[in-house]
Amino acid sequence: MSLDSAQAEGYARAVMRKLSLIFLVFGIGLLSVLIYQVGPAKLWADMVHIGPSLLWVLLVGLASMFFLAVAWKELLYPERTTATVWDLFAAGLVGFSVNELTPGSVAGEPVKGAQLKGKIPPEDIVSSLILHNYLYIITNFLQIALGALIGLIWLDLAPVLMWGTIVVTAVVGGILVLLTLAIRWGMAERFMKALRFVRLPIQNIEGAIEGARKADLQARTYAQERRAAFWRAFLWIFAARTMAVVEIWVILLIIGHPAGFATLMLLQASSLLVYVIFFFVPSQMGANEAGSTLIFKLLRFDPATGLLMELVRRLRKIAVIIIGLCILGIKTLLKPRT
């Protein structure tokens, strides 16, 4: 890499760090305002009331992560891997922790692969993660569309929320059509070419494009050769994302505000929509809380309940992040020194 390219890359990273910090500070400020409006004392009393029941929320979250690991296992060639579901589960927890602490929620993917070095061929790691993330994205948009449709049909929505739901359903439907074609188009290769087009300072971009092309080819080949495993992986990922609906149900039940199926699906859809829109904000700080506060208000519920629900979910995220970082720390300490 030339000196100019290295300087440009360093500058780009510095800008990203600054933007990430700005978004994080803004999110913390927004969260602080929401907490102030509801009342810190009230929220603290509610959290104390929840107490040990938070363990149930954590278990639901870990079950979701385990389902994702089972799906990942389905996307690997059995004869070419020695990694167990538990290896993939641990790698997924580490990757989740890194994703939650970095903007864009993609930095954890290379970290996942690094955890499995020697147990899965590098090309299989890349292609399986491409397929896994593809199915994950498909599932997210599918659940947004399903939640919006169910809410539109079964709930008496305010006009603003009703029209917003119609627009979201239409847009997400179009995105789903594009995503179903994406695997045939070569997602990774096209993404790397897009990075070259915008002249981002990436070392050996041509080599990266070639590697992406091979990964795309292997992903398409796998989807064709092991179609049953591909669909099993999709079902496991769908089950994992459905656990988020279970999580919302458990939290609302614990805090004394049980909700029906249609409401739960709409809340999950709105949560996923916020995640998609504000993916660049580290851990979607403040965005999740503001989004749920707004949707609860539009559903004619107490907005404070929406904020409390998201604070409980954030505590669950923090717990999972701590678990993931502990796993990473232990693996680092046990790694043989060369």
DSSP string, 215-248: HHHHHHHHHHHTHHHHHHHHHHHHHHHHHHHHHH
Measured at the alpha carbon of residue 326, what is the angle toward residues 70 and 249, in degrees to the nearest 5?
Answer: 55
pLDDT at 197: 54
Q: What is the mean pLDDT of residues 65-90?
A: 93
Domain region containing 315: 3-334
For residue 236, the one-letter residue type is: W
Q: Identify the residue whose tokens are 């999580």.
A: 247
Summarised one tens digit per residue, pLDDT across range 81-136 is 899 999 999 999 999 998 887 765 566 778 888 888 889 988 888 888 888 888 88
pLDDT at 200: 46
> Is pLDDT larger for residue 24 or for residue 242?
242
Q: What is the mean pLDDT of residues 203-232?
A: 70
Residue 120 forms beta bridges with which residues?
117
Q: What is the mean pLDDT of residues 196-206?
A: 51
Which of 8-22, 151-165, 231-245: highest mean pLDDT? 231-245
Summarised one tens digit per residue, pLDDT across range 186-195 is 665 665 555 5
Judged against a pLDDT cut of 90, whether residue 145 lies above it is answered with: no
What 8-state DSSP symbol labels residue 39?
-
Report how many domains make up the chain.
1
Non-local CB neighbours of 182 within 8 Å, separated by 6+ positions: 134
Q: What is the mean pLDDT of residues 228-253?
A: 94
Give CA 247 to chain center in angstroms: 15
What is the spatial distance between Cα 75 and Cα 79, in angstroms, rounded to a whole number? Answer: 12
Summarised one tens digit per residue, pLDDT across range 263-319 is 999 999 888 888 877 777 777 888 889 989 988 998 889 999 999 999 999 999 999
Residue 240 in contact with residue 217, Cβ under 8 Å?
A: no
Task: State what percent of residues in the chain have pLDDT above 90.
Answer: 31
Question: Mean pLDDT, the chain, as a whole number?
Answer: 82
